[in-house]
Structure 1
Amino acid sequence: MSLPVTVYRWDDAGAPSLTGRTQADFIAIIKACLATGYGTKAAAGWTVAFEDAGTTQLVLRNDTVNGSGGFLHLYASGANAAGGTLLMVSAKNMTALGAYTDRGWISAIKSQSTQHTQWVIFATSKGFYFYLKTSANTTAVGSGSYEYFFFAGDFQSTLINDAGNFVIVKQLQNSDDITASSSVETIQSIAPNNSVCKIYDADGGNGSLTYYASKGLLYDLSTTVDGSAEDKGLQHYLQPWSLVTTSQFTPDRVGTPAVNSTKSPSLRGFLPGLMNSSFSGYGNKPWPAIETFNNAQHLGIGNGYNIQLWLNMETWYD
């Protein structure tokens, strides 16, 4: 069932601020957008499962009717402070703070400088993208440094009733990462065949496989190309951002090759609303770069050099 996307921004009336640049600021922003709302904007439909403001921790749960009911734990690494690191972890279930069933790998973000305070969240009741941009760079492609763009929630699975589809996808990752570095830790800087997340078995078992990015078509992470496809008379050919095993013969927990597995299939699913284009460009265009594909507006997500990824800002999970 398709779900409408709500766009939340730092410059909305009543929006929470990141000017303090603390882990608590990040938590307040994500909580307001997903669970409590702010100003005239309603929340996306998540709920607060656990919270401890004294230790700077929050656990959110996505919709249990339209979604998987997965858990997202946000917590401070060290003291709550300007430029402090916020850690994030997904889990199938939680019974208390830090008490996980089938947790994913730990990821990290932070506000690197006073210029890194502009945020945008694109959210539904099942999943969301968080985009942190710098005010110092007004181009559509961004600066590529500490401009985090990550997904948390239910990916769009190729299986019906996939019990393992609640994840965080943020970076090239194959284990816990409690550091928040620069451009290598964003979706738009992930190359094809980079590992990105651990996904548990679709049947509810506790087996898991490492899944990789399959962006297809094209990837160019280091060349600045000016102009848009429209300027050049070219068309965008779009392909979903897919989650795949490193090999179709990777065995699942009972030894079945992924290509034939119903527990951990080779093509597990897609990140909702995120498309990779055959065209790379927009190096000299102002932010935001917005184009219409299939009658829906899409935002171009830059990597500091060009734009190849486009995020549907209207509906996901079609």
Structure 2
Amino acid sequence: MAQAVTVYRWDDAGAPQVVDGSPSEYMNVIKKCLVEGYGSKSPLGWTVEQEIADPPYIAFKNDLAAGGSGGVVMFSAPSDNVSEKTKIRAAQDYISKDTYSRESPFYVYDRYSSGSNTISNWVIIGTAKAFYFFCYSPSAMTTNFTSSRYSISFFMGDFESIYPNDPATFILVGGQKDFSSTNWNASLLYRFSGFHLEKISTLHPLDASSSRSEFSLSSLFGTYTYVNGSHSGEADISILSPMYLLMGSANIESSSEYQTNTHPFVRGLLPGAFVANAPGYIGDTPPVFKELDSQNHYLLPTVASGTCCVWINLEQW
């Protein structure tokens, strides 16, 4: 059953702010959106499974009562220094900071730089089961083209499985997995607008075992989600394609190992994410919100030489 989506932004009344870019500031933003709420906005309904002040660590669990799988996403940093990188990892099974299983690859983020280049303009879009986390520097928000500036971009939570009672739906999707640097071309936004989505992350099989395999994201248009060149003005959109989780490189011709009851080739969909058949709006002031198919959507910014065609539904997943 579809759930209502809530959008949280840095410019909301009473919203928590990223000032210096320390790891604890970003963790506090996510805690406010997922667990505590702020201003007139209620939280998504997640819970804190564990929190440590020094060094900064926090783990969030999605809402079982709302249909969530009970998966956990962990944020950790060696210290609260502004120069530190924060590591994110998801786990389907969680006991403590050091004891968990059926985990995802890890991804990292940091503040990027100082002053107007500090990544501080954040957007969280989510439900009780999953959310997207984006954060940009003010200097990158003049148009919907961020160029080679690094931005934070992740999906965390349950995907929409096509298999009833799927025991392993909690995933983490970022840019370059198990990579300890924060280059702009190692981000999820870069994968959406300048590279492909093959083998973007991993998931676990339907038998609930601990082995993990790579999956790709693919739409009706394949594993690429951008159009070459810079496209301003209105996009002539006639189709919004869901994004499917396909095992391996998303190539059915080479999918023999994924034609089993425990490892099916097609596993599900990425919640709320759609690929349009046409580009546009790269010159618009972000964030870019448009009504498509009678529902509000958010156009992800472009960070490379193409124009991104990925939209996030802001109404329901």
Q: TM-score, normalised by structure 2?
A: 0.89
Find out whether 1:165 has 2:157 as its counterpart: no
Find out whether 1:228 has 2:227 as its counterpart: no
How far, CA to CA, are the matches of 2:310 and 2:148 in structure 1? 14
- Residue pair 2:189, 2:300 contacting (<8 A) in 1 also: no
Deviation at 1:123, TM superposition (A): 1.4
Deviation sequence 1:71-121 (CA, Å, 0-9, x none): 111001x32112421100000111111211111111111111233210010
Deviation at 1:170, TM superposition (A): 1.0
How far, CA to CA, are the matches of 1:193 and 1:274 in structure 2? 13
Deviation sequence 1:4-62 (CA, Å, 0-9, x none): 11111111122111112011111111111001111221110100001111220001100
Secondary structure, counterpart of 2:273 in structure 1: strand
- Residue pair 1:172, 1:194 contacting (<8 A) in 2 also: no
- Residue pair 1:188, 1:301 contacting (<8 A) in 2 also: no
1:291 corresponding residue in structure 2: 290
Deviation at 1:177, TM superposition (A): 2.1
2:128 corresponding residue in structure 1: 125
Deviation at 1:148, TM superposition (A): 2.2
- Residue pair 1:21, 1:84 contacting (<8 A) in 2 also: no
2:137 corresponding residue in structure 1: 134
2:274 corresponding residue in structure 1: 275
Shift in alpha-carbon separation, 1:159–1:192, aligned structure 2, 3 A: farther
How far, CA to CA, are the matches of 2:290 and 2:206 in structure 1? 35
- Residue pair 2:54, 2:79 contacting (<8 A) in 1 also: no
Shift in alpha-carbon separation, 1:220–1:249, aligned structure 2, 3 A: closer
Deviation sequence 1:169-220 (CA, Å, 0-9, x none): 01143xx222222133124524335211110112312232110121442643
- Residue pair 2:243, 2:273 contacting (<8 A) in 1 also: yes
Secondary structure, counterpart of 1:104 in structure 2: strand
How far, CA to CA, are the matches of 2:12 and 2:34 in structure 1? 15
2:181 corresponding residue in structure 1: 179
- Residue pair 2:227, 2:309 contacting (<8 A) in 1 also: no
How far, CA to CA, are the matches of 1:250 and 1:25 in structure 2? 44
2:61 corresponding residue in structure 1: 61
2:313 corresponding residue in structure 1: 312
How far, CA to CA, are the matches of 2:86 and 2:311 in structure 1? 26
Q: In the comparison of the two structures, how many residue pairs are matched? A: 304
Q: Identical aligned pairs, as a percentage?
A: 27
2:11 corresponding residue in structure 1: 11
Among 149, 167, 171, the alignment partner of 2:153 is 149
| Runs of 4+ deviating beyond 3 Å | 141-144, 190-193, 218-222, 247-251
How far, CA to CA, are the matches of 1:296 and 1:83 in structure 2? 40
Shift in alpha-carbon separation, 1:22–1:193, aligned structure 2, 3 A: closer
Q: TM-score, normalised by structure 1?
A: 0.89
Deviation sequence 1:219-246 (CA, Å, 0-9, x none): 43652112122xxxx3331111222112
How far, CA to CA, are the matches of 1:22 and 1:244 in structure 2? 36
Deviation sequence 1:132-175 (CA, Å, 0-9, x none): 122113212334521222100001112111111101101143xx
| Two-structure CA RMSD over aligned residues (Å) | 2.0
Find out whether 1:239 has 2:241 as its counterpart: yes
Shift in alpha-carbon separation, 1:241–1:179, aligned structure 2, 3 A: same
Find out whether 1:80 has 2:83 as its counterpart: no
1:189 corresponding residue in structure 2: 191
- Residue pair 1:183, 1:303 contacting (<8 A) in 2 also: no
Secondary structure, counterpart of 1:54 in structure 2: coil
- Residue pair 2:90, 2:104 contacting (<8 A) in 1 also: yes
How far, CA to CA, are the matches of 2:68 and 2:3 in structure 1? 11
- Residue pair 2:191, 2:197 contacting (<8 A) in 1 also: no
Secondary structure, counterpart of 2:35 in structure 1: helix
* Aligned amino acid, residue 189 of structure 1: R
Find out whether 1:200 has 2:213 as its counterpart: no
User: Which 5+ residue runs of structure 2 have no aligned equivalent?
Assistant: none
Q: Which moved more, 1:202-211 or 1:62-71?
A: 202-211
How far, CA to CA, are the matches of 1:239 and 1:186 in structure 2? 19
Secondary structure, counterpart of 1:279 in structure 2: coil
